[in-house]
């Protein structure tokens, strides 16, 4: 059999990009054992929504601490700047001054790159009585509609129309403020809960959100709003009550540690059979992930407050996983956990219930020798004794983490393209892994690989669907 030089997965064609950064590749040499301690950054999803929440503060600077340096945070900053908000980075703090909001319309080019930026619709409407936000559109993991956000704002007295792809919202009639309302969400959407909770902080009267999302980032946003003077009860449960106040004041607030980053490092320890510790973490936020690690035979202990340690295991067993809203198993951990299950003994069934198109990493893991079949929203993972390094393409943020994890455990070299996804949500992932002893480095492009990669004839690139 004749070896041939590196070829790209067909799915790369979905990742058209001209920028130099997007050509970068991560070269991961598998097999190294990890050891040591890793610091966990602030939660991406908290940072993004709390930045939007800072729009509610009409007095001076809000200081948000523990803000990770991520591409998504930069984009959210660009959107706030486009609205006339002043931002300043000071170390891991972000100073946000929204005392003067010059614009009620967010630019399409920015919103289309970052779905979370749609969440500014709530605070903008509450502050200005008007907001024009382009529909964020689909993304690599699904259609991600905003009907729940829109219906909730309508219940609070907003007229909301969608014209030419722009959601135009303004206060109905002579109302000067949104009106408190009883809102039931058909699905506990994180973004809808956050949008409506932010809007309700400045509304007239009481709002209740039933079947609210219970994610820790929702509670974090509520704590931030409370620190600015908002009256919110029940965040973190499925019923949130907000009593509107006329205005909110400045605050100094530190966001929670990133539970998805922490979970990713626990899996890095498990998949390389290594002992590593991580902090700061809030172990309660990781209950579902730790339960599944225990189910496959991995040992995770809380050896100090806010610190977790994963102990080296010999072999792992299969387990079934179904993604669910919190406190269920998080969809954001599905791809990373799948990487681990590819090497566990037996058959695991992974069911993705939150996003309809979030199994695209299967094709790339298969390129590395994983045995996975997809049937609808189920992935049946048959554990194999070994993965082998291969050229692969990250199709979305958590898929990129899954490929790094698989690469750490694989025999040989894995070359990961599509790093713009990784950079959206992991702060210094390579550096953190290098400090733990992993052998990986970022190169400007495939042309900089030390030795040309070889793709064996038997490697099959499974075609994947275009993002919806
Ligand atoms: C947030 C997180 C994302 C995480 C997801 C689920 C941020 C910035 N992102 O995304 O990392 O994976 O929660 O935990 O916080 N839906 C509707 N109608 C709506 C809104 C949502 O049908 O109006 C559906 C979505 O299509 C999806 C499901 O609800 O199937 C969950 O989405 P949602 O909880 O809203 O996720 P996001 O807030 O976008």
Instruction: Give all domains of the chain, ordered by start, each with its CATH number.
Output: 10-41+257-448 (3.65.10.10), 44-254 (3.65.10.10)
Is the Cβ atom of 264 under 6 angstroms away from ligand 1?
Answer: no
281 annotated ligand binder: no
**Given the CA of residue 356, which atom of ligand 1 is nearest to it?**
30
At 462 the pLDDT is 36
Percentage of residues of the chain with pLDDT beyond 90: 80
Protein residue with least CA distance to atom 31, ligand 1: 189
CA torsion, ordered 320, 326, 331, 334, to nearest 10 deg = -40
Q: Which of 67, 149, 190 to mutate to test the pocket of ligand 1 (most atoms within 8 A of CB)?
A: 190
Average pLDDT over residues 70-94: 95
Catalytic residue list contains 225: no
**Given the CA of residue 332, which atom of ligand 1 is nearest to it?**
12
At 464 the pLDDT is 32
Q: How close is the Cα of 312 to the center of ligand 1, in Å?
A: 34
At 137 the pLDDT is 62
10-14, 116-120, 152-156: lowest mean pLDDT where?
A: 10-14
Protein residue with least CA distance to atom 25, ligand 1: 144
**Collapsing DSSP states into helix, strand and coil, what is residue 184?**
strand
At 313 the pLDDT is 84
Cβ-contact 38, 435 below 8 angstroms: yes
At 448 the pLDDT is 84
Cβ-contact 416, 28 below 8 angstroms: yes
Sign of CA dihedral 148, 154, 157, 163: positive
At 452 the pLDDT is 64
Dmax (CA) of the chain? 77
Is the Cβ atom of 292 under 6 angstroms away from ligand 1?
Answer: no
| Residue showing tokens 């992930």 | 289
Average pLDDT over residues 178-204: 97
**Given the CA of residue 260, which atom of ligand 1 is nearest to it?**
11
CA distance to 115, 169, 350, per residue, from 166 (Å): 14, 9, 36
At 20 the pLDDT is 63
22 annotated ligand binder: no
Confidence tier at 173 by pLDDT (50, 70, 90): confident
109 pLDDT exceeds 70?
A: yes
Protein residue with least CA distance to atom 20, ligand 1: 146
Average pLDDT over residues 284-302: 97
Confidence tier at 143 by pLDDT (50, 70, 90): low
Average pLDDT over residues 241-265: 98
At 244 the pLDDT is 98
Rounded Cα distance, 444 and 22, in Å:
9
Q: How close is the Cα of 215 to the center of ligand 1, in Å?
A: 11
Average pLDDT over residues 418-436: 95
At 21 the pLDDT is 64
Percentage of residues of the chain with pLDDT beyond 70: 90
Report which secondary-structure segment, H or E, holds 231: strand 231-233
Which of the residues 57, 62, 139, 225 is marked catalytic?
Answer: 139
Q: How close is the Cα of 227 to the center of ligand 1, in Å?
A: 25
Q: Which of 141, 185, 354, 400 to mutate to test the pocket of ligand 1 (most atoms within 8 A of CB)?
A: 354
144-148, 206-210, 407-411: lowest mean pLDDT where?
A: 144-148
At 1 the pLDDT is 35
Average pLDDT taken over every residue of the chain: 90
Bridging pattern class, strands 454-455 and 4-5: antiparallel
5 pLDDT exceeds 90?
A: no
At 445 the pLDDT is 87
Is the Cβ atom of 61 under 6 angstroms away from ligand 1?
Answer: no
Alpha helix segments (H runs only) across 56-120: 71-82, 108-111
Report which secondary-structure segment, H or E, holds 441: strand 439-443
Is the Cβ atom of 358 under 6 angstroms away from ligand 1?
Answer: no
Cβ-contact 11, 395 below 8 angstroms: yes
For 18, other C-beta atoms within 10 Å of its C-beta total 6
At 314 the pLDDT is 83
Q: Report the DSSP beta bridge partners of residue 455.
A: 4
220 annotated ligand binder: no
Rounded Cα distance, 441 and 464, in Å:
27
Q: Which of 147, 148, 189 to mutate to test the pocket of ligand 1 (most atoms within 8 A of CB)?
A: 189
The burial class, CB within 10 Å (0-12 / 13-18 / 19+), for 249 is middle
Average pLDDT over residues 98-104: 93
Residues 213-247 have pLDDT tens digits of: 999 999 999 999 999 999 999 999 999 999 999 99
Residues 322-367 have pLDDT tens digits of: 999 999 999 999 999 999 999 999 999 999 999 988 899 999 999 9
At 458 the pLDDT is 38
126-140, 231-245, 305-319: lowest mean pLDDT where?
A: 126-140
101 vs 16 pLDDT, higher one: 101
At 460 the pLDDT is 37
Average pLDDT over residues 417-440: 95
332 annotated ligand binder: yes
Is the Cβ atom of 332 under 6 angstroms away from ligand 1?
Answer: yes
Is the Cβ atom of 333 under 6 angstroms away from ligand 1?
Answer: no
Rounded Cα distance, 253 and 64, in Å:
5
């Amino acid at each position: 059999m004749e070896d041939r030089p590196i070829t790209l997965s067909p799915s790369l064609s979905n990742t058209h990009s001209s920028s130099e950064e997007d050509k970068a590749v991560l070269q991961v040499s598998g097999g190294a054992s990890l050891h040591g301690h890793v610091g966990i950054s602030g939660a991406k999803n908290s940072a993004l929504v709390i930045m939007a929440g800072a729009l509610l503060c009409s007095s001076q600077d809000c200081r948000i601490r523990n803000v990770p340096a991520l591409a998504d945070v930069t984009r959210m900053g660009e959107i706030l700047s486009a609205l006339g908000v002043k931002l300043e980075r000071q170390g891991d703090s972000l100073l946000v001054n929204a005392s003067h909001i010059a614009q009620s319309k967010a630019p399409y080019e920015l919103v289309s790159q970052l779905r979370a930026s749609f969440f500014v619709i709530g605070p903008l409407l509450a502050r200005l009585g008007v907001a024009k936000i382009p529909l964020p559109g689909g993304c690599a993991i699904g259609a991600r509609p905003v009907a729940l956000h829109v219906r909730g704002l309508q219940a609070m007295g907003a007229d909301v129309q969608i014209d030419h792809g722009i959601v135009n919202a303004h206060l109905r009639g002579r109302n000067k403020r949104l009106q408190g309302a009883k809102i039931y969400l058909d699905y506990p959407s994180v973004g809808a809960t956050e949008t409506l909770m932010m809007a309700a902080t400045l509304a007239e009267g009481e709002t209740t959100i039933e079947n609210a999302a219970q994610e820790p980032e929702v509670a974090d946003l509520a704590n931030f709003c409370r620190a600015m003077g908002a009256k919110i009860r029940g965040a973190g449960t499925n019923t949130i009550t907000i009593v509107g106040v006329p205005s909110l004041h400045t605050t100094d607030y530190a966001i929670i540690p990133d539970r998805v980053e922490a979970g990713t490092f626990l899996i890095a320890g498990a998949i390389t059979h290594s002992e590593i510790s991580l902090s700061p973490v809030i172990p309660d936020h990781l209950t579902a992930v730790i339960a599944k690690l225990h189910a496959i035979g991995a040992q995770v202990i809380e050896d100090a407050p806010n610190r977790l340690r994963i102990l080296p295991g010999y072999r792992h067993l299969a387990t079934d996983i179904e993604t669910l809203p919190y406190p269920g198993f998080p969809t954001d951990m599905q791809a990373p956990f799948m990487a681990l299950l590819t090497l566990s003994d037996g058959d695991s069934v992974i069911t993705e219930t939150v996003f309809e198109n979030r199994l695209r990493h299967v094709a790339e893991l298969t390129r590395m020798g994983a045995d996975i079949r997809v049937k609808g929203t189920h992935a049946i993972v048959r554990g194999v004794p070994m993965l082998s390094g291969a050229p692969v393409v990250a199709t979305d943020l958590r898929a990129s983490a899954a490929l790094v994890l698989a690469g750490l455990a694989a025999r040989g070299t894995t070359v990961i393209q599509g790093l713009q996804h990784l950079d959206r949500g992991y702060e210094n992932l390579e550096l953190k892994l290098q400090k733990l002893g992993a052998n990986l480095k970022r190169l400007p492009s495939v042309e900089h690989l030390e030795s040309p990669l070889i793709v064996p004839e038997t490697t099959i690139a499974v075609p994947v669907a275009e993002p919806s």
